[in-house]
Amino acid sequence: MSQFLSTCTADAIRDAAANLAAGNVVAFPTETVYGLGADATSADAVERIYAVKGRPADHPLIVHISSMQRMADWAEEIPMYAIKLARDFWPGPMTLVLKRSSLAKDFITGGQETVGVRVPDHVVALALLEAFEYIGGMGVAAPSANRFGHVSPTTAQAVVDELGEFLNPADQIIDGGSCAVGVESTIIDCTGIAPRILRPGAITEAMIEVLTGLRVSNPPDSAAIRVSGSLENHYAPAAKVFLDIQPTAGQGFIALSTIQTPAGVIRLAAPLDANEFAQQLYAALRRADADALTEVVVTQPHGDGIAVAIRDRLARAANGR
């Protein structure tokens, strides 16, 4: 067992909260992927995230809080539709981008006037956030617990494999099992008169429109706000990813279970539906690297819902690191 790994006992949660308060980093499970957390009010602690991940310093971070009541600590001028979204979809795989309060410093926002906030839907994550807030913490900044541009981890062992060599002895990884959703949260810009999706996820455009009664806006300047995971090349294994072509012998292959595996092709995942596809995708891409494959072919799922997020991640993965 890794020196960093902790089972999710009450003592481990309290130790992790104390580690966050002391300026260390703690990797923890959420329903989407594992996050690499640090005290969101401490510039030095957040700098550890950037150092461990090898992440550009102007790239904004998402602040994780235990409940929507804490949203007002981090944001100002919160529109009513954002409150509706928070009430309905938190805890859950949704990040709201709002006008920042004075608490959200440049080292969190990447120098922007906005901040991303979310309440994760995972019992371990919520217990950690509540324990941290109990001892005075205001929120935990937590991008995915992987090196910048690499495949996000959906198990604690994947975090160890990815980041173990970059962690300090006082850092911690809480093992909460495999992530249920498997792709990162939907990021919604709530700074305008209507919501705008900046990164697709499990909370879909249709769900947002039904709840708010507003048409989701997707104007050409949708990249004006920098957010996590929005670069053209991201979520990529070392192997080269090819989309929607016929795989050949020696290549890895990810596709729905209804699609057969050609002779000599190494099947990495055969999910039953789009939800399983999302759950298994990153582990399958990691397996490709573990098996020293140089090429992976993915037949993408069609349709709406989480399939949109899967295609978004795969388009970026196909561009490499």
- Give the pLDDT confidence score for residue 179 in this predicted structure: 97
**Would you write out the chain's pLDDT as a tens digit for each of its 321 residues?**
466 766 778 999 999 999 999 999 999 999 999 999 999 999 999 999 999 999 887 889 999 999 999 999 999 999 999 999 999 999 999 999 999 999 999 999 999 999 999 999 999 999 999 999 999 999 999 999 999 889 999 999 999 999 999 999 999 999 999 999 999 999 999 999 999 999 999 999 999 999 999 999 875 554 577 776 666 667 789 999 999 999 999 999 999 999 999 999 999 999 999 999 999 999 999 999 999 999 999 999 999 999 999 999 999 999 987
Q: Cβ(285)–Cβ(240) under 8 Å? A: no
Cβ atoms within 10 Å of 176's Cβ, excluding its own:
22
DSSP letter at 206?
Answer: H
- Give the pLDDT confidence score for residue 222 in this predicted structure: 47
> What does the alpha-carbon distance between residue 295 and residue 282 come to, in Å, rounded to a whole number?
15
DSSP 208-237: HHHHH-SPPP--TTTTSS--TT-SSS-S--
> What does the alpha-carbon distance between residue 24 and residue 38 come to, in Å, rounded to a whole number?
7
Look up the CATH superfamily of 5-212.
DHBP synthase (3.90.870.10)
Region class of 184: left (phi > 0), else alpha (psi between -120 and 50), else beta: beta
Cis omega (within 30 of 0) for bond into 271:
no
Q: Which two tokens stand for residue 301?
A: 């799922």
Of 116, 142, 199, the closest CA to residue 28 belongs to 142
> Any idea which residue has 């062992």 for tokens?
157
Domain spans in the chain, listed from the N-terminal domain onward: 5-212, 240-317
- Give the pLDDT confidence score for residue 1 in this predicted structure: 47
DSSP letter at 251?
Answer: -
Q: Cβ(290)–Cβ(234) under 8 Å? A: no
In the beta sheet, which residues pair with residue 91? Answer: none
Helix axes 274-290, 156-163, angle to 10 degrees: 40
- Give the pLDDT confidence score for residue 66 in this predicted structure: 98
- What pTM did the predictor assign? 0.94
> What does the alpha-carbon distance between residue 245 and residue 174 come to, in Å, rounded to a whole number?
38
Q: Which residues of 140-149 are buried (b: 16+ CB within 10 A; e: fewer)?
A: bbbbbbbebb
Cis omega (within 30 of 0) for bond into 91:
yes
> Any idea which residue has 């990884």 for tokens?
173
- Give the pLDDT confidence score for residue 2 in this predicted structure: 61
Q: Cβ(64)–Cβ(140) under 8 Å? A: yes
